[in-house]
Amino acid sequence: MAGGLPVIAVGAGAIPENVEDGITGTLVPRENPDALADAIIKAIKDPERSETLACKARDVVVRQKFSWDRAANQMTKLYQALRNQ
């Protein structure tokens, strides 16, 4: 996602927590190779949509979910919680 490429992933496990179908990428059902193939073909045939999804995904990852500021704040909160135990 941070690499600026369109994301096509299986909607299982923790993946849906990070990839919003149709917003930051494309989710396909698990154990469905036809759906995966269709999603890849759709991404190739519609580069404008792929670029839009990739840009949104990069924005979410870099600026919102996994920024250095957020990591520093989470680490600070962890240290404060440990200190107060």
DSSP string, 60-77: IIIIIIS-HHHHHHHHHH
More confident call, 79 vs 1 = 79
Q: Tens digits of per-residue pLDDT, 34-77?
A: 999 999 999 999 999 999 999 999 998 877 777 788 889 999 99
pLDDT band (50, 70, 90) for residue 3? confident
How confident is the model at residue 78, as a pLDDT?
95
Q: How far apart are CA 85 and CA 14, in angstroms?
A: 30
How confident is the model at residue 53, as a pLDDT?
97
Domain ranges of the chain: 8-83
How confident is the model at residue 38, as a pLDDT?
98
How confident is the model at residue 61, as a pLDDT?
83
